[in-house]
């Protein structure tokens, strides 16, 4: 796996139901194409003979149902073939979901419970392949013409926008193996931390908001209602993490719970959901191909993800830079911020701050290298319940310029709205430490 001076082309012949697992080198991309046969990457079929370029560090598998020959050019960290995969069990799940979508569609005029397609939630420990399974189920459904909704509740490694957000988006086409999920019209809520324990109440409140909006959208759209949703969750499954899984199942009215790679979690959920006959709890095997990531690697992955959001996977986006006067922007923080110790408070005072309190933040040097979300809220008290138009990153703060103190910001918005159409900036948490790594 060491880097060679001249890139060589390597051919790999894959037998039916086997996969080629690849970790792209750390600093050079990899080119790959399907020479013959048929193959897919996490549920999306490869076009025949077309070279695709995979960015450094990407980890993926090329799977074939009936046999294929793959060509690779460039270096990899690892590449090997595996003929033991859980893919048959995964595609069987897809087939069951497909049946339910068809039934929902057939009864869509009746408007009853039966017109609701599957609401699948994927749970399991970190590195069990939750995001990957979600992706396959979505891509297989999209290939058959459905437009399922993808909901990503994973604030640690979010795949729709950036870490710190929860989001949902309709999947209209199989997910691109290189570009990932298309960012056209995501519905995004900003939490601002990468772990829910920072503010559990806020996390739950945002999950609830997201679920309510989707529920409303489903009511008016029989097609997406029948297609249903796939909900990806965090890998935190103990204690509060477990409670948040139950909260998500409940809030989204999930009717299929897929548990990846953990017997204990499966039996706990099966027992607790026993009294809900319309909820199926299904145990699935974890793929041996899932790559484990240390906390350091996860932190790096978060940084790259934020960079990708602003600059594109292949550095093909250029964020707008803008200078704004302090007086044009309103920055708010959700949650109490650092709490005063009990000893510093008057006797009898409660040190627990309101977790959903919105407070104005002074613009000063502390905002440098911070990611802020641009809220659709018209008033500060609407911030918690409002989704966001996009995210900005503050690259400079000028306190010297008399009269016109200004901030320089990088912005990249999901849609074409401008920051200044929506004056309220939402600084739920503090994503600064991540940012400094990314942009320095
Ligand atoms: P987290 O809880 O941290 O979000 P996860 O359970 O969602 O993790 P994934 O993100 O699906 O796990 O998988 C972890 C990594 O392993 C990803 O980089 C993914 O692309 C890779 N991976 C998954 N399945 C395979 C496979 N069969 N072959 C090669 N790489 C794989």
Length of the chain: 440
Q: Is the per-residue pLDDT at 164 higher than 70?
A: yes
- What is the pLDDT at residue 247? 98
The alpha carbon of 286 and the centre of ligand 1 are apart by a number of angstroms equal to 10
- For a substitution probing ligand 1, which of 55, 284, 288, 290 has the most ligand atoms within 8 Å of its CB? 290
Q: Which residue has the tokens 């939402």?
A: 426
User: Is 347's pLDDT higher than 80?
Assistant: no
Q: Among 131, 151, 261, which is best to mutate for testing ligand 1, by the most ligand atoms less than 8 A from CB?
A: 131
Q: For the whole model, what pTM was predicted? A: 0.88
Poorest-confidence range of 56-60, 97-101, 302-306? 302-306
Distance from Cα 126 to the centre of ligand 1, integer Å: 9
Report the distance separating Cα 399 and Cα 416, nearest Å: 30
Question: Which has more pLDDT, 411 or 29?
Answer: 29
Pairing of strands 256-260, 371-375: unpaired
- What's residue 341's pLDDT? 57
Instruction: For residue 235, give the DSSP letter.
Output: S
Task: Quick: pLDDT tens for 386-433.
Answer: 998 888 888 788 777 644 555 566 555 443 333 433 345 555 454 554
Edge-first strand order for the sheet with 52-54 is 9-14, 68-73, 30-37, 52-54
ipTM metric: 0.98
C-alpha 294 – ligand 1 centre gap (Å): 13
Which atom in ligand 1 lies closest to the alpha carbon of residue 234? 2
pLDDT at 101: 97
The pLDDT of residue 212 is 97
* Of 164, 238, 260, 291, best ligand 1 pocket probe by most atoms within 8 Å of the beta carbon: 291
Neighbours of 380 (CB within 10 A): 16
Residue closest by Cα to atom 21 of ligand 1:
290
Tens digit of each residue's pLDDT (9 = 90 or more) over 72-92? 999 999 999 999 999 999 999
In angstroms, the CA 369 to CA 395 distance is 6
Give the dihedral sign, CA 304/374/351/363: positive
Instruction: Please tell me the distance from the alpha carbon of residue 178 to that of residue 16, in angstroms, as a whole number.
Output: 24
Ligand 1 atom nearest the C-alpha of 287 is 27
The closest-lying atom of ligand 1 relative to the alpha carbon of residue 22 is 29
Question: What pLDDT score does 439 carry?
Answer: 46
Average pLDDT, the chain: 85
Give kind and range of the element (H or E) at residue 300.
helix 295-311
| Ligand 1 surroundings by CB, under 6 angstroms | 19, 21, 59-61, 126-132, 154, 157, 235, 287, 289-291
Distance of CA 405 from the midpoint of ligand 1 (Å): 45
Nearest CA to ligand 1 atom 27: 289
Residue 250 pLDDT level (bands cut at 50, 70, 90)? very high
């Amino acid at each position: 796996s060491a880097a060679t001076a001249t890139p060589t082309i390597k051919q790999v012949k894959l037998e039916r139901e086997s996969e080629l697992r690849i970790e792209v080198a750390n600093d050079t991309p990899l080119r790959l194409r399907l020479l013959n046969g048929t193959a897919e990457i996490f549920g999306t079929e490869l076009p025949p003979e077309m070279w695709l370029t995979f960015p450094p560090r990407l980890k993926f598998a090329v799977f074939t149902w009936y046999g294929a020959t793959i060509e690779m050019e460039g270096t990899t960290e690892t590449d090997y073939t595996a003929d033991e995969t859980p893919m048959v069990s995964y595609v069987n799940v897809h087939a069951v979901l497909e049946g339910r979508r068809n039934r929902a569609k057939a009864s869509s005029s009746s408007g009853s419970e039966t017109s609701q397609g599957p609401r699948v939630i994927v749970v399991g420990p970190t590195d069990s392949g939750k995001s990957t399974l979600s992706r396959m189920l979505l891509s297989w459904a999209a290939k058959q013409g459905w437009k399922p909704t993808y909901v990503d509740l994973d604030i640690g490694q979010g795949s729709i926008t950036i870490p710190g957000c929860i989001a949902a988006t309709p999947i209209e086409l199989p997910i691109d193996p290189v570009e990932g999920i298309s960012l056209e019209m995501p519905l995004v809520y900003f939490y601002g931390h990468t772990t829910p324990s920072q503010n559990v109440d806020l996390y739950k409140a945002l999950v609830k908001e997201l679920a309510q909006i989707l529920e409303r959208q489903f009511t008016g759209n029989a097609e997406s209602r029948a297609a249903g949703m796939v909900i990806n969750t965090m890998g935190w499954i103990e204690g509060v993490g477990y409670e948040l899984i139950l909260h998500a199942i409940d809030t989204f009215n999930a009717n299929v719970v897929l548990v990846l790679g953990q017997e204990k979690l499966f039996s706990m959920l099966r027992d607790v959901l026993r009294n809900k006959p319309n909820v199926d709890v299904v145990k699935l095997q974890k793929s041996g191909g899932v790559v484990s990531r240390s906390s350091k690697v996860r932190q790096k992955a978060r940084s790259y993800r934020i960079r990708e959001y602003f600059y594109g996977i292949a550095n093909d986006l250029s964020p707008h830079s803008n200078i704004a006067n302090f007086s044009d922007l309103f920055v708010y923080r959700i949650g109490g911020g650092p709490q005063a110790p009990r000893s510093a408070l008057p006797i009898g005072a409660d040190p627990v701050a309101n977790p959903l309190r919105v407070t104005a933040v002074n613009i000063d040097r502390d905002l440098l290298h911070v990611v802020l979300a641009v809220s659709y809220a018209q008033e500060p008290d609407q911030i918690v319940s409002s989704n966001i138009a996009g995210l900005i990153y503050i690259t400079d703060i000028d306190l010297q310029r008399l009269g016109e103190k200004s901030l320089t910001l990088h912005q990249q918005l999901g849609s074409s709205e401008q920051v200044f159409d929506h004056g309220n900036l939402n600084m739920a948490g503090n994503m600064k430490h991540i940012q400094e790594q990314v942009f320095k």
